[in-house]
Amino acid sequence: MLFKKLSFLYLVFILFLFLTSPGEYVIPFQGVLDSQKALNAQLHQEFKARTPKTEDLSILHQAVENYLRVVKKVEDEFSAFAGSDDLATFKLKEKGFADDFISSDLADELEEANQNLSEVYARKASLDLFPKLVQLEGLNLERHPGIVYYFHETPNGIIPSVLEHFKTTAYQAYQDAEANLAPSLPKQEIEEVKHSAYIARFKEELIFGETFSLQVHHDTSKAQAFINDEELKLSQEKDGISKLTYLPTRPGQYALRIEIGGKPLLGSFRVESPSLEKLGLSNPLNQLELGESHKLPIPKEFKSLNLELNLQGAEVKYRNAYVEITPFKEGAIPVYLTSGKDTLDQTVFYAHAPKSLSIKVIGENGEKVLNPKLAFKLESNTPGWEIIEFEAKVIGSGGPQASFQASNKFLPKELRKLFQEDNSSGDLVIDRIKLMNPSGATRNGSPLILNQ
C-alpha cells in the first residue's frame, strides 16, 4: 500500500514538473537544425540545376515542387505562430501549435501531399517513401501515422527539424529516381564555383558583418548569380567581367549558384559569428605581466564590425593596427568581445606579477627624477603595488657614508637633508625593497642607483 502511495505521489510530481516547465524539459540541439538547413540549401541548388531527361522524371520533378510548396505553407504557419524570435520556437510545448495544427485543413493538405508524393514515387520510380512520410516504422516494426506522430508525439521544439526532414526526403527521392530511371544517360557534371576558370578566387569563410564578393569572367555570355536561390544583381566592372557583392543577413551556410550562358556552377560560403578565436585574439595573451604593455594585432574587420574588447582588470588602448593591453590586476582577467550592447564572446586572460618589480624615484613635484638631490619617495612601475619598506645608502668615493631604513615609500628626512647640503657628494643606492598589493601578497623590488 505504501509503495502504491509513493508511486502515485511520484507521478503527481512528474506531472507538476511537466505542466509548470517553460518548455525546456527536452533541450533541442540547434546544431542539428542548422546542419539540416545547410544540407537542404545544397540539395535545393542541385535540384534546381537538374533538367529532367525523361517524361517520368519531369512528372517526379513537378511532384517535388508541388510538395515543397505545401511544406513551405506549414513552415510559414509555424513561424507566424512561434513569433519572430527563433528561440521562442524551442520554448513551445506540443500543446499549442501541434494540437491546433492536427485538426486543421492545412494538416489534411500536408497529409495528402505526403500520400501523393509517396504514391507517385512508388509508381514511377519504385521508391518506397511511405515509411518516411506516411506510416512511420518504429524500432519494433510497429507503424505510426506520420502527421500525428511528427506533430504530437515528438519532443519539444522538433517541428522545424521535421519540416527540414520532409524537404530532405523529397530532394533525395528525386536524386535516387534520376539514378534509377536514367542509368544510360551521361551523368550531368556540375562544376564547382571554386574550381571554375570563370570565377576569381573568393573568400569562403566570412565573419558576420563582412561583405561577400566574387568576380565572374564570362566574356560575351550572360552571367547570373543566386544566393540561397535568390537572384542578385551583378555589377559590370568591364567588358566580360562582372562582380557580385552581398552583405549576409545572418551567420550560417549560404548556397551559391552562378550561371554562365545557362551552365550552372554550384558552391557555398559560410558566415561565422564574430569570436575571439576567429579574430585571432583567443590564445596569444593567456599570460600577461602585470604593469607591462602587451601589443596584440587586430584584423582590419575589427573596426568595420564595430567590435570592442572589454577587459576587467586591464587598460585597453587602440592603435592603428593593434590593441595595447596593460593589466593592473593580478590573476584572472575576464575578456569580453562586444558589439554595441551585445556580448559576442568571452574568455579569460591571466596576469602575473614579475618576480622582481621595477621601481622609480619621484620628486616633490610628482615627476620621475634621476638626481638624488631631488628624490622624495619611491613608486612601483606596476599598478596596484605599494612600497612598504626599503634600505637606502649613500656611497661616496671612500665607501659607505650613511645608511637609512624606511618602513614606507618616503625617503627619510635625514637622508634628503644630507643630499640637500651644498657640499654633499656620493651616490644613492636603494636596496632591499619590499612591496605589497591590496590582497596582501608581497614582492621584492629591483635595486636602484642614482648618481649625482
Q: Is the pLDDT of residue 167 over 70?
A: yes
Q: Is the pLDDT of residue 11 over 60?
A: no
pLDDT tens-digit readout, 242-253: 999 999 988 888
Burial string for 372-391 (b: 16+ CB within 10 Å, else e) reads bebbbbbbbbbebbebebbe
Q: Is the pLDDT of residue 445 over 70?
A: yes
Share of the chain above pLDDT 70, in %: 78
Nearest in space to 325 (alpha carbons), one of 338, 307, 312: 312
Q: What is the pLDDT of residue 31?
A: 55
Q: Is the pLDDT of residue 131 over 90?
A: no
- Grid cell, residue 15, equals 506531472
**Domain 287-352 CATH class label:** mainly beta
DSSP-derived letter for residue 439 is T
Contacts 24+ apart (CB under 8 A), 28-35: 28/90, 28/155, 28/156, 28/157, 28/158, 28/161, 30/90, 32/161, 33/160, 33/161, 33/164, 34/252, 34/253
The 3-state DSSP class for residue 70 equals: helix
What does the mean pLDDT of the chain come to? Answer: 78
CA distances from 272 to 180, 210, 279, 309, 310 (A): 39, 10, 11, 18, 21
Average pLDDT over residues 412-426: 76
pLDDT tens-digit readout, 26-44: 344 455 677 777 788 888 8
Amino acid at 262: G
What interhelical angle do 105-125 and 159-181 show, nearest 10? 20
Q: Is the pLDDT of residue 97 over 70?
A: no
Q: Are 134 and 144 in contact (CB under 8 A)?
A: no
Cell 550552372 belongs to 264
pLDDT tens-digit readout, 317-366: 888 888 888 888 878 888 888 888 888 888 888 887 777 788 999 999 99
Q: Is the pLDDT of residue 90 over 70?
A: no
- Does the pTM surpass 0.85? The reply is no
Helix (H), strand (E) at residue 5: helix 2-20
Nearest in space to 395 (alpha carbons), one of 374, 420, 415: 415
- Grid cell, residue 447, equals 635595486
Average pLDDT over residues 169-174: 90
Amino acid at 230: E
Strands 205-207 and 263-272 turn out to be parallel
Average pLDDT over residues 429-443: 86
Q: Is the pLDDT of residue 286 over 60?
A: no
pLDDT-wise least confident of 84-93, 124-133, 275-284: 84-93
Instruction: State the alpha helices, DSSP H only, in 84-129.
Output: 97-102, 105-125
Q: Are 255 and 268 in contact (CB under 8 A)?
A: yes
For residues 406 and 412, what is the distance between their CA atoms, to the nearest angstrom? 7
pLDDT tens-digit readout, 47-57: 887 778 888 88
pLDDT-wise least confident of 46-50, 282-286, 290-294: 282-286
* Angle at CA of residue 81, ends 75 and 84, nearest 5°: 85
Q: Is the pLDDT of residue 19 over 50?
A: no
Q: Is the pLDDT of residue 211 over 80?
A: yes
Backbone phi and psi for residue 263, each to the nearest 5 degrees, phi listed first: -85, 125
For 425, residues 6+ apart whose C-beta sits below 8 A from its C-beta are 396, 397, 452
Q: What is the pLDDT of residue 3?
A: 43
Average pLDDT over residues 8-21: 47
pLDDT-wise least confident of 94-108, 330-344, 399-413: 94-108
CATH 1.10.3720.10 fits 191-272, yes or no: no
Distance between first and last Cα of the chain: 98
22 vs 81, more confident: 81
